[in-house]
Structures are given as structure tokens and as C-alpha cells.
Amino acid sequence: MDFPTLRSRLLAWYDDARRDLPWRTPRGQAPDPYRVWLSEVMLQQTRVETVRPYYARWLERFPTVDALAAAPLDDVLKAWEGLGYYSRARNFHRAVQEVASRHGGRVPGEPDAFRALPGVGRYTAGAVMSIAFGREEPVVDGNVRRVFARWTDDPAPAEDALWPMAAALVPGERPGDVNQAVMELGATVCTPRSPRCGECPVRGLCAAYAAGTQNERPAPKKARPLPHEDTAVPVIHRGGEVLLVRRPVRARLGGMWGFPQAIRHPGESASAAAERAAAEGLDLAVRAGAPVASVDHTFTHVRATYHAVRCTVVWGEPRAVRYDEVAWVPWERIGGYALPVAQKRIAALAALHPTGPHPLA
């Protein structure tokens, strides 16, 4: 491949076509490494338009490394609420605390030191080192993977081939812009479906374009069928309050708040499973009352149906047996807790129901 020609055409195109994004500073202005890093973490597996409002709110709330390092995890997760992949927020928080305590509050500009921080993988390290520090480090993300698959007309390029190719492009002036140019091309021109080859500055060097195979590159990977989880959710009332739990950090949605839950056994009713969820997860005896609602939610690798059931306490005080924390929360203060999307939906539906004890309880 003619890397020098690719490089110069990409840079020239990027100078003209690059989108104006909040984390991009004007040419010549030094970027803030904390902001570049934040943007890269938020953009992992997440679209630009989704990230925009989160990025702006985050910087108002946590404008600097020191501000974020000093914040409690619950505040951090609340700011991340709805963005998904919550381990990103936990890892970023931990990493920034390390930067504050061990690097004097300065984001390390050495690739090895930065790469050692939690949540920083090969891609993120290359992106932050090149964009924020001008280091000649490559990146391979989904865009780069697709662009190279088409340039080489390879249906499934190996990682061992992609990184050397990406690295061959970087040396020279403006390594951060070179990396961003490939990704920008992938995001706006060399798109997964209906690539705009007519607007591509490097179609003359593209093997897939020459062969007319751009729509079959890269080859789609086969998805596994999603398992289904039929889940009971006890919405436990006491006085004017409802019981929330904080999920263990290791688990799915780790560190986030929500309602207790238990996967239904075959043949088990939602009411029985809701009572069992309280018994096993909280060491608490509850009586199931009226069903509140059913909510379907699809995660990356599992489809869940949540059967929310109103419950009242029969006996005992809740203990966080299978959770990290429990809290009795007045309905009007639920908004202060970081809830994943499905739990928020359950809370909204449950709040529509009368909040006193069930008449038959």
C-alpha cells in the first residue's frame, strides 16, 4: 500500500471536511488531555450524537482531573446514567484518582504509563497519546478496521495486520490528525452501509472500490441468538418509601441502583419469584400484591422481561445479602439515584400506581 499518498490525501481531506465536535480544539490550540481522554472513553461503542449532551454536562460537573477525583462514585455514575457500559465510568473514575494521587494531577504523556490505567486499552492509549500529546502512536477502532478492510479488499483483516498498517500511516507531522482522519473517513464517508465512494479522497487507492466489493467489506460477523431472562422485580413499599438496592460492581450494571430482582424458575409465578427475590437477596419476608407492569429490555447479549410486582414487608429489615447497599427512598427522591434505563422505566410505571400499602396486605 502507498502509505505516504494515503497519509497526505487523508490529511488534506480532513482539514476541509472534519466535523466541528466539542472535544476538538481549533487548529494550533493545545488540547486538554483530560477532555480528550473523557471523549475517547464516552465514544467507546457509542455514537457521537449520543455522547454530545453527556460530554457537556460532565464537564460542567467535573471540569478537571481534581474535580472528578474528589467526587463520590455515586455522583459519577449518576452523570453516566443512560450512557451504558457503566464499567467505563467506574474505571475512568479510578484512573483519574490514580492520576491525581500518583501523577500530580497531570495525565501521563508516556504511552506505557497511560496504558497501565484502568479502562485504558490499546485503542484509547493510542488515541489520547496521539491527539493530546502528539505522540506517533497508532489506533485501530471499528472505523479503521472497516477502512482498511476496504482498502485491502480483505473480508476479515486480522488484528496482527491492522495494527502495523495503522502504525505505518502515523509517523510524521500531526499524528493525532492522521488517526482522526481515518476514523472521520470511516464515520462520514466509508460508512458501514451505503459508503459514499464518490466523495472519498482515497478511492483511487482502494482495492474494494476497484473490485466493486465495498458493500461486502468487511464481512458481517454472525451473531449468537439472545437468551431470554424472565425476571421478577419486587417493588417493596413501606410507608411512603420504596426499597432500592445497589448492584455489586462485578455484576451486570455494577454499581448502579435499581429494584431487587430474581430470574423466574420454570413454572414459578411472578409473585412467588418476587417474594423469593426479597428472601434470598435481602433476607426480607414480603407479601406480593398487585402486578405493576411488565417491561421488556434488550441488553447486548440477553433479552430480559421484568415483571414488576408491588410488595409489602411482612417481617424483618432488609440486609444487603446479594447487593452492595440497600436504601429506603421516598418516590420523589428516586431521581437522585443512578438507575439504568430499564429500572427507570419500572420506577416510572410503579410511581403511577397508588403508593400506600396494598389494601389486602
Contact set with DNA (CB under 7 A): 21, 24, 39-40, 43-50, 82-87, 91, 118-125, 127, 141-143, 146, 180, 183-184, 186-187, 192-193, 220-224, 226, 251-254, 297-302, 340-342
Cβ proximity to DNA: between 85 and 331 the closer is: 85
* Lookup: cell for 297: 429490555
Q: Are 258 and 245 in contact (CB under 8 A)?
A: yes
In eight-state DSSP terms, residue 30 is P
Q: Least distance from C-beta 155 to DNA, angstroms?
A: 12
C-alpha cell at position 191: 460508512
Q: Which residues are catalytic?
A: 40
CB of 24 to DNA, least distance (A): 7
Q: Which is nearer to DNA, 37 or 62 (CB)?
A: 37
Strands 325-330 and 241-246: antiparallel
Least distance to DNA from the beta carbon of 237, Å? 24
Q: Give me the least distance between CB of 68 and DNA, in Å please.
A: 17
- CB nearer to DNA: give 99 or 288: 99
DSSP letter at 215 equals G
Q: Between 170 and 313, whose beta carbon lies closer to DNA?
A: 170
- What is the CA angle 342-266-286, rounded to 5? 60
Q: Which amino acid is at 3?
A: F
Give the H or E element holding residue 288.
strand 285-298
**Cα dist. 223→81, 157, 193, 228, 301 in Å?**
27, 18, 18, 15, 10
- CB atoms < 10 A from the CB of 19, how many? 9
Taking the complex as a whole, the smallest distance from the CB of residue 334 to DNA amounts, in Å, to: 15
H-helix or E-strand spanning residue 230: strand 228-238
Q: Which is nearer to DNA, 160 or 332 (CB)?
A: 160
